Amino acid sequence: MGSRASTLLREEEIEEIKKETGFSHSQITRLYSRFTSLDKGENGTLSREDFQRIPELAINPLGDRIINAFFPEGEDQVNFRGFMRTLAHFRPIEDNEKNKNAAASEPLNSRTNKLLFAFRLYDLDRDDKISRDELLQVLEKVDVEQKMSIRFLH
């Protein structure tokens, strides 16, 4: 599948994604290979169902919220570029990259963008507030997961 990833992703696309996300050429190629392996419809996009087949997300109590973060409001598919933009929020913050180009926009993995991204995971109704009910939903999911893990260990 590595050859499929390198042949379908043009060099100029890789360079644009590098600039936008901060991922290296090899990371982009590897993530493209993973993206295409998840793309069961082979249409160049991923659906929520494609993400739900990822075992780590399926067992994560916040997996549905993480999956939703990949989809702009009203969208039910994400292309590779959108996939990479979302993943960029998970990249570590590197001090030497913070002020690379003063004219450039703030990196997707900046502290500010990471906080905004995390906030949106909890703000389910997208009203720019985390209500008591939204917070309780998260705490209940985590609590249920912990109880299940404790039962499994005993």
For the stretch 19-33, pLDDT in tens is 999 999 999 999 999
Structurally, at CATH architecture level, domain 11-92+107-122 sits in Orthogonal Bundle (1.10)
Tokens for 28, please give them: 């982009």
pLDDT score, position 72: 83
4 compared with 111, residue with greater pLDDT: 111
**96 Cβ neighbours under 8 A, 6+ residues apart:** none
Q: What is the mean pLDDT of residues 57-66?
A: 86
**End-to-end CA distance of the chain, in Å?**
41
6 compared with 49, residue with greater pLDDT: 49
Ordered by start, the domain boundaries in the chain are 11-92+107-122
Model confidence at 129: pLDDT above 90: yes
